[in-house]
Amino acid sequence: MVCFCHRSAGALELALQDLARAGQAGGAAGLARPGSFGGAGAAIGLSLTASAQRVLSVSNWLATRLLPSAAWQPEAAWLKLELPVPQMSVEAIATISSIATLRSLALELFDADPFRPGTATALARVVVTLNARLPGLAAAMGQGGQARQAAVQAHWSTLANVAEAAARVQLAVSAGLFALAPAQMQAYLAPGGLPMEQWAGFTARVTALLPLVAASASLGADLSDPANLAEGMRVFKSLSVPALANPGLVARLTAVFAAQGRVQAATGADPARMPVEEMHGRVMALALQAAESIPAGAQPPKIAQNPACFASREVVTAAVSAPVAALAALNWRVPQSKALPALANLLPAASLIKALPAGVAVEKRPCAQVCDAASLMRAAGF
């Protein structure tokens, strides 16, 4: 049986206290307005340097165009492909995609498949034990309630955004995006030897299929079969899972720990084990290095968007596969997420657990006599 162990909660409270102190010391900053280029028009808090403001702005400009990435190399024959057309509503497809994501997380984190009978108690136990730990986790973030928690989240999210923006800008400079030769620019503007405008219909159809491509990969070939998927959905909809005691806190905790992981990945240092001034200085140094790497007088490349990130050969192959075609042909009326207790409560819980720092995780075996999960389950009516 999996549970959010009280021992894990204790370690997590200590980590949160460090992160909250750092967030209070560093303060919260705003973010650059997406789509702008350079320093003009950026709305940034005073705690960020001018270099950080610029790399955020340049990075946002690059991200909206799916850059940096190699020029898209489509095949002219793709224009003649008969891609399946989804029959479900956008909302229904989003729900199916979220359920597929939850199933992957449940299998990875809890060794439990919400599409198979007999897993209801194990999955309910995750939420019940997490609910019991939330008051302690909230207290670890200090006094001030939601405003305090939001400030800590904003601090770490901003620091992560700056660190990742610096990496994106450095990658763009290394790829020569600010000084493209005419032939290189042509590769972006006319992929496959055709003007980008001629690919607009194809890329729109691929974009519509992306959630089903991802869902098919998560579900696997067996559950992409409509009959098997229908049976799995029947089991899933019948799951009895308690409501999260504090969904807002769970969302903020997930954002904080995810941002901590992003900062650590970008800097190579654990922000919970470093003085806030040192970590802030390290990230600002990365921003300065990235800003200075942009060639003087450089102008953004006149590229509207680069489909290489979402219309690769692998994605197109998957889009015309039998499993994706089977999902696209479904015309089910799928309940909204909030009408599916297992999805509405388990997905946020699993997302938080997935974002936890290394060394803090759920327990997959009861911790002998000191485990309180059984008594918590009885109190919750399970």
Q: Is the pLDDT of residue 238 over 60?
A: yes
How far, CA to CA in Å, does 306 sit from each of 65, 164, 181? 6, 20, 17
**Sign of CA pseudo-dihedral 36, 37, 40, 43:** positive
Of 242 and 358, more confident: 242
Q: Is the pLDDT of residue 46 over 50?
A: no
Quote the pTM value: 0.84
Per-residue pLDDT band at 280 (split at 50, 70, 90): confident
Query: Which pLDDT value is given to residue 363?
Result: 65
Helix, strand, coil share (%) of the chain residues, nearest 5: 65, 0, 30
At how many degrees (to 10) do helices 6-26 and 276-293 cross?
60
Mean pLDDT score, 205-209: 96
How many whole angstroms separate alpha carbon 85 and alpha carbon 209? 8
Query: Which pLDDT value is given to residue 47?
Result: 64
Query: Which pLDDT value is given to residue 302?
Result: 85
Residues 6+ apart with CB under 8 A from 378: none
CA dihedral in degrees (331, 98, 118, 123; nearest 10)?
-150
Quickly tell me which residue has 């042909």 as its tokens: 329
Mean pLDDT score, 315-325: 94
Q: Which amino acid is at 143?
A: Q
Query: Which pLDDT value is given to residue 105?
Result: 94
Q: What percentage of the chain exceeds 90 in pLDDT? A: 57
Q: Is the pLDDT of residue 22 over 80?
A: no
Burial of 188 (0-12, 13-18, 19+ CB in 10 A): buried
Per-residue pLDDT band at 25 (split at 50, 70, 90): low
Write the pLDDT tens digit of every residue in 132-178: 999 998 888 876 678 878 888 888 899 999 999 999 999 999 999 99
Mean pLDDT score, 301-314: 92
Mean pLDDT score, 354-372: 71
Closest C-alpha to 163, from 70, 260, 69: 260
Structural Rg of the chain based on CA atoms: 24
Q: Is the pLDDT of residue 52 over 80?
A: yes
Q: Is the pLDDT of residue 273 over 90?
A: no
* Per-residue DSSP letter, 363: B
Query: Which pLDDT value is given to residue 23?
Result: 57
How many whole angstroms separate alpha carbon 292 and alpha carbon 50? 11
Per-residue pLDDT band at 297 (split at 50, 70, 90): confident
How many whole angstroms separate alpha carbon 98 and alpha carbon 337? 8
Query: Which pLDDT value is given to residue 29?
Result: 37
**Sign of CA pseudo-dihedral 269, 271, 276, 279:** positive
Domain extent listing, the chain: 6-379
311 phi, psi to nearest 5 deg: -125, 45
Q: Is the pLDDT of residue 31 over 70?
A: no
Closest C-alpha to 249, from 171, 145, 363: 145
Write the pLDDT tens digit of every residue in 60-103: 999 999 999 999 999 999 999 999 999 999 999 999 999 999 99
Mean pLDDT score, 325-351: 90
Quick count: other Cβ atoms within 10 Å of Cβ 169? 28
SS3 state at 321: coil
Query: Which pLDDT value is given to residue 38?
Result: 44
Per-residue pLDDT band at 36 (split at 50, 70, 90): very low
Quick count: other Cβ atoms within 10 Å of Cβ 218? 19
Query: Which pLDDT value is given to residue 143?
Result: 67
Query: Which pLDDT value is given to residue 11?
Result: 76
Q: What percentage of the chain exceeds 70 in pLDDT? A: 89
Residues 6+ apart with CB under 8 A from 126: 2, 3, 4, 110, 346, 349, 350, 353, 362
Q: Is the pLDDT of residue 243 over 70?
A: yes
In DSSP notation, 289-307 reads HHHHHSPTT------S--G
